[in-house]
Amino acid sequence: MQLEAKSNGGNGTQRTSAAPSRRTKKVPPPFSRLSCLRWIPSYAWQRFTRRKPRGPVHLIFALADHFEPAIIPENGRARAPYDEQERRLEAWCRDYPKAIHQWRDNSGRPLVHSYFYPAEQYDKALVERLAQHCHSGWGEVEIHLHHGIEAEATAESTRRELVTFRDALANDHGCLSYLDGSALPRYAFVHGNFALANSTGGYGCGVDDEMEILASTGCYADLTLPAAAFHRAQIAKINSLYECTLPFDQRAPHRKGRDLRQGSPLRIFPMMIQGPLMLDFDRSSRSGFGRFETAALTDANPPSMRRLQLWKQAAISVQGRPDWLFIKIHCHSMYPNHRSAVLGDDMQRFLSELTAGAAERQETLHFVTAREMANIIWAATDGREGDPDQYRDYRLRLASAVKRQTGNLRHVAQQEIASPVDLRG
């Protein structure tokens, strides 16, 4: 299957051969808002039993960017003209390094993005421009997927889209990573509409065994959640790093899982990496009572030191290693009205306060990609200690680094993992 962008009647709108048929429109199933608060009991228990560590801590930040140059915020099914996508991408690659380069973590690294690019919107020229941006040290490209909205998605179509896009990223753009020198590209994943493994009851996915497909095609980590307080895809398990314990051919097997623990090696992939989901009793909020903290950077809720306190209170860590706090936040940087929150005044103010006061707060900052966060988590489960920075490339190494050692990697296209569960090599 080819994924070359084509013109739509001269207006520049993207199409791909992977676009779903419009014969059957999907509509969201009805749901109760109260049923979506199934996570509140877990939250209450965590607040009672979980405390952020006292004394020095390592704050390990990853920013999962749901990166969609074609997005039109007021109409999720529409696509921006192609020349507008080019303009947005070029402006981002030009402006982001200038905006945030002066604020660095403990090892001199800037805040990087993990760019989760939509497989169904693949355009070779656009992705190549983003890949160049990443190869210059500003992040890494990973896989994002929207499907099951306009028409039914199937296991076959999902597998085909993931494998084709995976191989294009690895072979044509030098992106993604490899496990211990193996020949199969590995990737991190974010599900469009948060509907991971059909967790919304058919809308925005439709594939119950999607987790098995992710595992067999090389996905080492899922960074989809949290969704939102009242989102139908939001599960009860929150603020956690864990392995799924339900069978992968079930709908939403990530509903249940075993928390990752120091000295208990990872076995089941993709590992689940969640961002913080908290209650913020801020009386200055628009409601006057407070707001939900969902780890999303938006124009209405930009990054701030107040939010940092909530992210730390979530205390997301590998059990037995509480001084390594993992903070996974997310954004849609191509939303035109989110500019201040992702690279403008709000972000710059936050980074200035974050870095300037880190020593006083006894915090060592680490700005990492999704891959690097997964590697550090993996090292913690293997009982590794010391500075988390030394584990950025622990098991999963960038394609560019592996290619320098092994030469052309194009022969791996279309391969899958023999066991969809065990990724240990």
C-alpha R_g of the chain: 20
Domain assignment of residue 22, yes or no: no
Which domain range does residue 159 map to?
A: 34-405
- Per the domain annotation, does 414 fall within a domain? no
Find, among 335, 387, 361, the residue nearest to 65 by Cα: 335
Residue 45 CB neighbour total at 10 angstroms: 10
Which residues, 6+ apart, have CB-to-CB distance to 237 below 8 Å? 39, 42, 254, 255, 256, 257, 274
In a domain, 391, yes or no: yes
Residue 46 domain-assigned? yes
Q: Is residue 168 part of a domain?
A: yes
Report the distance separating Cα 134 and Cα 136, nearest Å.
Answer: 5
pLDDT at 51: 81
Q: Are strands 271-273 and 278-280 parallel, antiparallel or unpaired?
A: unpaired
C-alpha angle with apex 82: 21 to 93, nearest 5 degrees? 120
Flag whether 19 is in a domain: no
Exposed, middle or buried: residue 362 (CB in 10 Å: 0-12, 13-18, 19+)? exposed
The answer to the question of residue 8 being in a domain is no
Distance, CA of 303 to CA of 305 (rounded, Å): 7
| Cβ–Cβ under 8 Å, residues 239 and 279 | no
The first and second tokens of residue 107, run together, are 């090892």
Q: Into how many domains does the chain fold?
A: 1
At 236, list the tokens. 């009860």
Residue 340, domain member (yes or no): yes
Q: What is the pTM of this model?
A: 0.89
CATH code for the domain of 367: 3.20.110
Digit-by-digit pLDDT tens for the chain (425 residues) are: 333 333 333 333 343 333 333 344 455 555 555 566 889 999 999 999 998 788 999 999 999 999 999 999 888 788 999 999 999 999 999 999 999 999 999 999 999 999 999 999 999 999 999 999 999 999 999 999 999 988 889 999 999 999 999 999 999 999 999 998 788 999 999 999 999 999 998 889 999 999 999 999 999 999 999 998 889 999 999 999 999 999 999 999 999 999 999 999 999 999 999 999 999 987 666 655 678 999 999 999 999 999 999 999 999 999 999 999 999 999 999 999 999 999 999 999 999 999 999 999 999 999 999 999 999 999 999 999 999 999 999 999 998 776 655 555 554 445 566 544 454 44
Question: Which pLDDT value is given to residue 410?
Answer: 52
Residue 7, pLDDT score: 31
Q: Which of 424, 64, 423, 116 is nearest to 274 (CA)?
A: 64
* Contact indicator for 252, 198 with CB cutoff of 8 Å: yes
